């Protein structure tokens, strides 16, 4: 790390996540210079057989750009790409963190019945995989139920945040009655957690992820 203020690069796949990440960075990463990188076609291309193969190289290029800009650590803010963090970080030679890892650890520690909700199928599978990975490390074997919420992503993509939050909140309330904890797989779903009225924790990735990032920066 340089003697000047540390630099943290955030790699986003959707512009909607940039403002809340910036707010949390100001709160938890005081004295740190943030850098934002955006490729808003990655999630769509992960679902395209012809383009999915380009994603690892694109992520590697963006992380190399971050390193060239002086970043001391990079954080992927999208759960759909979190499984690329370790191999890309190893190739570039810079720490690359997953914003959803802390959330997964909290979920595993909270209970053995976990519901995972997503608004995109490309996010659901890696999030479940991450929870299973962190559960294995913790010596746990949770029962995981999951659902892709129809219509929510289309609503938020068109700018209709209210409809998105209502649809997601309804799904949270429906699944929460049979589980110990609900996990929202995408950072863009965080606003819906406040609209749901349930008696179990509803976890989102942003704040736990940024808190863990602050610990990593302090340890550099």
Q: What is the mean pLDDT of the chain?
A: 94
CA–CA separation, 57 and 39 (whole Å): 12
Q: What is the pLDDT of residues 90-114, one digit of tens each?
A: 999 999 999 999 999 999 999 999 9
Rounded mean pLDDT, 45-50: 93
Please state whether beta strands 73-76 and 202-203 pair in parallel, antiparallel, or not at all (unpaired).
Answer: unpaired
72 within 8 A of 7, measured Cβ to Cβ = yes
Is the model's pLDDT at 205 over the cut of 80? Answer: yes
Distance in angstroms between the alpha carbons of the first and the last residue of the chain: 7
Rounded mean pLDDT, 25-54: 95
Q: What is the pLDDT of residues 108-164, one digit of tens each?
A: 999 999 999 999 898 899 999 999 999 999 999 999 999 999 999 899 889 999 999
H or E stretch including 8?
Answer: strand 7-12
Is the model's pLDDT at 48 over the cut of 50? Answer: yes
112: helix, coil or strand? coil
Q: Which residue is listed with tokens 């992927």?
A: 76
* Residue in 88, 73, 57 with CA at minimum distance from that of residue 10: 73
200 within 8 A of 176, measured Cβ to Cβ = yes
CA–CA separation, 167 and 174 (whole Å): 11
CA–CA separation, 169 and 182 (whole Å): 11
CA–CA separation, 220 and 73 (whole Å): 9
Is the model's pLDDT at 3 over the cut of 60? Answer: no
Tell whether pTM > 0.75. yes
- Output 3 or 29, whichever has higher pLDDT: 29
Is the model's pLDDT at 190 over the cut of 90? Answer: no
Q: What is the pLDDT of residues 61-86, one digit of tens each?
A: 999 999 999 999 999 999 999 999 99
Is the model's pLDDT at 188 over the cut of 90? Answer: no
Is the model's pLDDT at 171 over the cut of 60? Answer: yes
What whole-number percentage of the chain has pLDDT above 90?
88
């Amino acid at each position: 790390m340089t003697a000047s203020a540390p630099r943290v690069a955030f790699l986003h796949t959707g512009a909607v996540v940039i403002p809340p990440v910036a707010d949390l960075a100001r709160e938890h990463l005081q004295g740190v210079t943030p850098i934002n990188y955006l490729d808003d076609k990655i999630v769509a291309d992960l679902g395209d057989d012809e383009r999915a193969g380009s994603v690892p190289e694109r992520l590697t290029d963006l992380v190399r750009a971050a390193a060239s800009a002086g970043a001391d650590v990079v954080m992927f803010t999208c759960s759909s790409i979190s499984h690329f963090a370790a191999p890309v970080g190893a190739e570039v030679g810079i720490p690359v963190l997953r914003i959803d890892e802390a959330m997964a650890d909290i979920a595993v520690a909270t209970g053995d019945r976990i519901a995972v909700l997503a608004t995109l199928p490309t996010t659901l599978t890696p999030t479940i995989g991450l929870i299973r990975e962190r559960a294995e490390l913790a010596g746990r074997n949770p029962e995981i139920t999951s659902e892709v919420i129809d219509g929510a992503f289309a609503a938020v993509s068109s700018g209709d945040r209210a409809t998105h939050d209502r649809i997601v909140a309804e799904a949270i309330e429906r699944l929460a009655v049979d589980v110990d904890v609900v996990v929202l797989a995408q950072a863009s779903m965080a606003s819906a957690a406040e609209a749901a009225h349930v008696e179990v924790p509803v976890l989102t990735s942003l704040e736990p992820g940024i808190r863990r990032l602050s610990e990593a920066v302090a340890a550099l």
